[in-house]
A and B are shown apart, each in its own frame.
Chain A
Amino acid sequence: MSILAVLTEDLLVRVNSRIEDGADRRSWRLVCKEFLRVDSLTRKSLRVLRSEFIFSLLRRFPNVDALDLSACPRVDDGMLTLLLARGAASTTASLRWNLRSLNLSRATNGMSFKGLALIASACSQLEKLDVSYNCRLGDREAAAISGIEGLKELRLDKCLEVTDVGLVKIAVGCQKLEKLSLKWCMEISDLGVNLLSVKCWSLKFLDISYLKVTNESLCSIASLPKLEGLTMVGCPLVNDSGLEFLSRGHSLKEIDISRCEGVSSSGLVSLIRAHCNLMRIIAGYLPELSAALLDSLKLLKNLTTLIINGTQVSETVLQTISSNCKSLIEIGLSKCIGVTNVGILQLVSSHQKLKVLDLTCCGSVTDAAVCAVADSCSSLVRLKLEACYMVTEKGLERLASSCLLLEEVDLTDCSGINDSGLECLSRCSRLVSLKLGLCFTISDKGLSYIAANCSELCELDLYRCTGIGDETLAALSNGCKKLKKLNISYCIEITDRGMKSLGSLGELVDLEMRGLHNVTGVGLAAFAAMSKRLADLDLKHCENIDDSGFWALACYSHNLRQINLSNCNISDVTLCMVMGNLTRLQEAKLVHLANITVEGFELALRACCVRIKKVKMVSELRLLLSSEILEILHAKGCIIRWD
């Protein structure tokens, strides 16, 4: 009997739409053919990890309208041509007409204006395009992108060769653009931004971070009628009068002026006075917080986020903020000088709704402050206490008893944390991310509480937690099945046994295990054989791993995308195997490999040159390697970092 007799198709679709987690969806697909069909038909987004599967995947999921190729090696013109040709030829013609979002971020290898022109002609519905971190992307590519008329969102971060001309092309061609990021497009100047402001009237969000633009740009940006968010981190040529120009607009809701050297409080005051609807202010590293600025915060009834990282504050400053901003949800005081217990007490006392609090490097904060936070902010979700070394289990106990919604806690370098602290913290069962790096006093016992209670944990950082060993890993592999990212670097107690138990963490994607001297090839082989999803592996200074471990890696870890083999005892043949066999490998750090000869490097690079995007090697090799292979790598768009 078909399941459809019990549940109608539309009900199945509705149920399916509620499933967010990838593993759960996998389980769903395995139930029966009907479930699989429902999932295939309803799936809207697809993140492709391997280019060879892309066509079968697209056939299986005909209604995909968001395609992410950022994790895919070898995204080049040829592949895009094939993709679009197949998309057009397939019965559903999905790609040709329906693709709305396309992510080509970091697709360095061989993507040029030809491919982008094809996309522009084939995907007329495209609304969102991400081509960030394609350093070779230039004006011609920008011109090709400008052919996508309906584009609403475009990311050009670090497209280093895009100049004003390219930007203007886009500004004229894509007049519906609402969101544009030009971060690190270093060639873009005032002229381009001015013209952008003239042409793209529907722009709502603009990121001009790190550009060498001046106040003139801000003057023209102010004329954008719909602008809601402006990010201008690290614009050194902008100053207070530029912010005064910005005050001419009235619609701004978000502003980020962090690390703008020329900007001071007075500029921000004029901005605040004009934009009373501001919701987010990020003003890290302002020279000082003037009384006028604090006073003007009163005008902002809707201010939810205030981040003033790296500024000088005092108790009165924090008190004024507390009394002037009633609706804050997020406060960032990272690296602020002068944050004290009293200050925190005054700040949080009236902010019950606070969800995010960043107290990174506020060294004088003690348990008293943490207790105050716990008492006031019961809905806290994210708390960063990195380097607050005076925080102990007392604070954590209060925190865990009242802030049960906590998802993210950063206790890196909090040397006051011990096992009982972790025991208290383990009561926060929703924890997703926990950072305990450099907490030397915690041991297997403390982590066993976490492993037992925090089953949602996805990210765990145990960097240099020298007190933990194999038992922790065993406990984690049992309790935290959702763990995706794990850092056990320099946890020198860990041996092959621990590595083997880690293998059962089926979701593990990112593992950093630097300097584990007690792990040998056997351990790595056991882990690699089990851990199918591993994409990012750091083996630096794991000197006792021999070729058998790396050989296993080459055989099993087909999803490996980044690998760090620096200071490992890997041989020529095995390196060649690893580099050649791992068909998803895109980034490799190959520094100080004592057993590798120049020929070994040459062969390994030849084996992976078609897909590798980034290689790090010692600079001596620059002269020793043949110019041919270097030319090939360069032609394929691979970036070589010489150490």
Chain B
Amino acid sequence: MDPEDEICGETWGTKSSLSNSLQEKSADFGSQQQLQKKWDNNNSSCIMDYGFRIGQQQPPFREQINNSIQGKNSNDNKPPEWDPSAMLNNLSFLEQKIHQLNDMVHLIITRKGRVPSKPDELLTQQQQQLITADLTSIIVQLISTAGTLLPSVKTIGQFSQFTPKPAAVSPEQQHQQPNNSMDVDHNYTTEEHEEHEDGEAEHLPPGSYEILQLEKEEILAPHTHFCTICGKGFKRDANLRMHMRGHGDEYKTPAALAKPPTIKEVSSAAAEPVMIKRYSCPFSGCKRNKDHKKFQPLKTILCVKNHYKRTHCDKSYVCSRCNTKKFSVMADLKTHEKHCGRDKWLCSCGTTFSRKDKLFGHIALFQGHTPAIPPDETKTVVALAHTDDPAADGGGLGDQALMDFKSVDDPVGAAAVASCFSPLNFDSCNFGGGFPDFNRQGFDDSEASFSFLLSGGSCNYSNQNTGGES
């Protein structure tokens, strides 16, 4: 078995056990997040990382580490003063770390001896990086421990520059570390944010960014990530990477599974300003097209996709509940379906509003529009106008129509509920690619890989959090 593979597999395994031990009492995600943030503040993001790796290889040490981490956390709450016990903790922690590093190097050596036939260059490089990262972290820890001795200096301010930034570590290394969903979640929210800002003008001076323009086919292609071996397409790089695992052990390494670096990270790693990328819509004449006089670039590929579909494509997704609203982006339909039916303010033109004042504003604008009285009632009126005897069964007719409507409505509602849940799970399990494609169109296509993800046990984090839902 490949050593890296073993490490990686155990990383995931212990991650959950670590978090379990950390929060035996409070199991909710929020507190866990807070905890992690505290660590980050403490310059101990790599300590945590260490925790994972140490835990995996030397289970007896785990508790001590946790103790030390917790000790540090409690220390963190107070102003950074000279605390002998904290110092002791730190020192013993350092000691352990050196031990672990020692062990790890030992392990690598023994593995090398056992499997000499495969002098994988990449593998050795990564191993080297691992060791380097660990060493860096030990140095940082040492300095920060020493720093607490200086009363006037604040730990965080002083030593943040010593954090193992990608400048010191290679990009792969950087991404090997945060294989946790926190990072992904964070990433996701920013993406969402950008999507919302889709329409806003950015006011970047022309020329300060690089303009990319995807072709129409590229934008509308359901898959953007293709397996080089079997050709299967995926919407997300993460799913592709998971898929790749099936093609051989070499794809199971943490490095291979890790998320490729984002532009920001690469640029900061390269320590030279990389031109910001902005996107142009391929539709000529569009304001988002680079040839337009008042060109407004799109920020991300996701923006391009959504913009193109919304503006230049047919609205093929019809809400099955109201049968009136149409969307070209599946996500928009899902969003609408969450609110559909709640819009009880209906205009005679068929437009619905969630608020009375909005409806009235609409009616004020358009000639001849009136607020609609609930459908069964109006039907009765219509029926009445055509029958000679009004007291006949006008009401019955309305009721019938209502019944039909309901019977149609129910399964749809159930489906909508189901579809509401699945993306939720999906999001929380997302491992994020280079350009994570959050468009949920054709969601079903990627389900196979998704379930693979789940069954691989790599999502225990989210499993734990979402409880019975997944």
Contact = CB atoms under 8 A, between A and B. Distances in A.
B281 to A, nearest CB: 39
A629 to B, nearest CB: 23
Contact of B385 (A85, A121, A146): A121
Contact of A77 (B360, B377, B390): B390
A117 B384 CA distance: 8
B349 to A, nearest CB: 12
Interface in A177-206: 191-192, 194-195, 198-199
B385 A139 contact: no
A601 to B, nearest CB: 30
B391 A81 contact: yes
Contacts, number: 60
B363 interface: yes
Contacts of B391: 77-78, 81, 114
A194 B384 contact: no
Contacts of A194: 360, 364
A191 B381 contact: no
A140 B390 contact: no
A458 interface: no
A143 B378 CA distance: 9
A165 interface: yes
Contacts of B423: none
A191 B357 contact: yes
A374 interface: no
Contact of B394 (A114, A198, A199): A114
B364 A198 contact: yes
A195 B364 contact: yes
Contact of A113 (B364, B371, B381, B389): B381
Interface string A140-154: 100110100000000
Contact of A168 (B371, B384, B388): B371
A85 B363 CA distance: 35
Interface in A47-76: none
A337 B378 CA distance: 55
B112 interface: no
Contacts of A173: 370
A146 B357 CA distance: 21
A192 B356 CA distance: 10
Interface string A92-113: 0000000000000000000001
Contacts of B456: none
A282 interface: no
Nearest to A118: B390
B381 A169 contact: no
Contacts of B394: 114
A490 B380 CA distance: 54
A252 interface: no
Interface in B358-388: 360, 363-364, 368-371, 373, 377-378, 380-381, 384-385, 388
B373 A143 contact: yes
A114 B384 contact: yes
Interface of A is mostly: helix
Contact of A165 (B357, B364, B371, B389): B371
B370 A117 contact: no
Contacts of A199: 364
Contacts of B369: 172
A81 B370 contact: no
Nearest to B378: A143
B163 to A, nearest CB: 58
Interface residues on A, range: 20 to 34
A115 interface: yes
B356 A191 contact: yes
B203 to A, nearest CB: 37
Interface size class of B (residues with CB under 8 A): 20 to 34
Contact of A81 (B373, B377, B381, B390): B390
A169 B390 contact: no
Contacts of B380: 114
A164 interface: yes
Given A81-B391, A195-B360, A168 B370 contact: yes
Given A121-B385, A139-B373, A168-B371, A115 B363 contact: no
Interface string A156-177: 0000000011001100110000
Nearest to B365: A198
A120 to B, nearest CB: 9
Given A81-B391, A172-B368, A144 B360 contact: no
A143 B385 CA distance: 13
A143 B381 contact: yes
Contacts of A192: 360
B389 to A, nearest CB: 8
B95 to A, nearest CB: 73
Contacts of A78: 391
B363, B371, B388: which has the most chain A beta carbons within 10 Å? Answer: B371
Contacts of A164: 356, 360
Contacts of A85: 388
A531 B364 CA distance: 56
A192 B361 CA distance: 11
Interface in A119-145: 121, 139-140, 143-144
B360 A140 contact: no
Contacts of B357: 191
Contacts of B360: 164, 168, 191-192, 194-195
Contacts of A146: 370
A143 B370 CA distance: 9
A308 B49 CA distance: 85
Nearest to B388: A85
Nearest to A121: B385
A195 B358 CA distance: 12
Contacts of A198: 364
A81 B362 CA distance: 36
Interface in A194-234: 194-195, 198-199
Contacts of B381: 113-114, 117, 140, 143-144
Interface string A451-495: 000000000000000000000000000000000000000000000
Contacts of A113: 377, 381
Interface string B415-440: 00000000000000000000000000
A356 B424 CA distance: 77
A379 B370 CA distance: 51
Most chain A Cβ neighbours within 10 Å, of B368, B377, B390? B390
Contact of B370 (A77, A115, A169, A191): A169
Contacts of B370: 143, 146, 168-169, 172-173
Contacts of B373: 139-140, 143, 165, 169
B390 A115 contact: yes
A146 B381 CA distance: 13
B358 to A, nearest CB: 10
A81 B369 CA distance: 29
B379 to A, nearest CB: 12
A585 B230 CA distance: 91
A114 B390 contact: yes
B352 to A, nearest CB: 14
Contacts of B364: 194-195, 198-199
B65 to A, nearest CB: 64
Contacts of B390: 77, 81, 114-115, 117-118
Given A81-B390, A114-B394, A115-B390, A169 B384 contact: no
A164 B394 CA distance: 25
A143 B377 CA distance: 11
7 contacts: A81-B389, A113-B381, A114-B394, A165-B371, A168-B360, A169-B373, A191-B360
Interface of B: 356-357, 360, 363-364, 368-371, 373, 377-378, 380-381, 384-385, 388-391, 394
Which 10 A-B pairs have CB atoms at the shortest separation, nearest pair first?
A114-B390, A172-B370, A165-B371, A198-B364, A191-B360, A169-B370, A195-B360, A168-B371, A143-B373, A140-B377
Given A164-B360, A169-B371, A169-B373, 10 more contacts: A77-B390, A85-B388, A114-B384, A139-B373, A146-B370, A172-B368, A172-B369, A172-B370, A191-B357, A198-B364
